[in-house]
Amino acid sequence: MAECARGVDVRRTWSEQEMVRSFGGQMFPGTPDGVFESWEGSLTCVQVVRVPVVVDMSPLEMQETLDQTILVKIVKSQHWLRACNVVPHDFVIFCWLPFMIPDEVAESGHALMQRVQKLDARFSLRLAVPTEPGALFPALFAHGAQFRKSTSDSRGKSVSESDVSGFTGVDDASDDEEEACAWDITWAWDSDPNCLGICDAEGSDAEASSGSDDEVDMEWDITWEWQSDGCCSPKEQLESQRSATQDQGSVVVDSGGVGGSAGFTWDNGG
């Protein structure tokens, strides 16, 4: 981290909680060893790895080991980048070497990184040998791995350049999302000429029938029955009923027991 941040005005360094990404109770692989931000706004991720090379290896074996170490870290780091959805300015694969390797081996590693950068330009490579190799590399470092490699069969899984995913940038990703949102909501019957003719005919018939119905509905008859049959109006009928009731309101009733000519007037309340 200190080596990669040299000469950079660091604004903030990410905590381990910010770097770790998990899903379903399991952490995503490829968590970087450090992430820092500069005051210019650039984000730098650093993935530190010790390359398991030993002095007894041939230059070709060292080259294969270095290439495999770089590819494994790149593929895992891409998984982490997709999980956290960040786009760093630089993702450094920092390789510690236990000793000085031949120049052709180092050139092969840098050539591999140049090919990877054509797919994903975020990654870069740094090779370094510590001032005190014994502090990072124990005496028997990588000897066990070399033995397991020599005795393993073809079932051992390795990573190749074809496993590296391509990354073109945020602009292209946003364009893809916009194109994906351009939905076609045209129904199938809209694109069928035969169906269009039928639908148009039905629509015109419906409009014609609706228009005729509207005309019939607008011919309202507000003539009352007493006006058409020559009858009296309700007010006249009510007045005639009142007058008839008043004429019959007073009735002379014979008392029957008081005298022949005696009687009294009975008001029926009308």
pLDDT, mean of residues 117-138:
90
Distance, in Å, from the CA atom of 258 to the CA atom of 264, rounded to the nearest integer, reads 10
Give the per-residue pLDDT at 152.
47
CA distance 92 to 74: 10
What are the sequence ranges of the domains in the chain?
10-167, 189-249
Residue 84: pLDDT above 50?
yes
Closest to 72 measured CA to CA, from 36, 29, 108, 11: 29
> SS in 3 state form for the chain?
CCCCCCCCCEEEECCHHHHCCEECCEECCCCCCEEEEECCCCEEEEEEEECCCCCCCCHHHHHHHHHHHHHHHHHHHHHHHHHHCCCCCEEEEEEECCCCCCHHHHHHHHHHHHHHHHHECCEEEEEECCCCHHHHCCCCCCHHHHHHHHHCCCCCCCCCHHHCCCECCHHHHHHHHHHHCCCCCCCHHHCCHHHHHHHHHHHHHHHHHHHHHHHHHHCCCCCCHHHHCCCCCHHHHHHHHHHHHHHCCEEEEECCCCCCCCEEEEECCC
pTM here is 0.57
Could you tell me what percent of the chain has a pLDDT over 70? 58
Sheet holding 34-38, edge to edge: 10-13, 34-38, 43-50, 90-96, 123-128
> Structure tokens of 54?
């030993």
Question: What is the structure's pLDDT at 189?
Answer: 56
Q: How far apart are CA 45 and CA 38, in angstroms?
A: 12
Confidence band (pLDDT; 50, 70, 90) for 224?
low
Over residues 137-176, the pLDDT tens digits come to 887 777 665 545 544 444 456 888 889 988 877 554 444 4
Averaged confidence pLDDT in the chain: 74
Residue 251, pLDDT > 50, answer no
Tens-place pLDDT, residues 180-215: 455 555 555 555 555 555 555 555 555 555 555 555
**With 80 as the cut, is the pLDDT of residue 113 above it?**
yes
Q: What percent of the chain has pLDDT over 90?
A: 27
Beta bridge partners of 267: 250
Per-residue pLDDT, 140: 76
Other Cβ atoms less than 10 A from the Cβ of 193: the count is 7
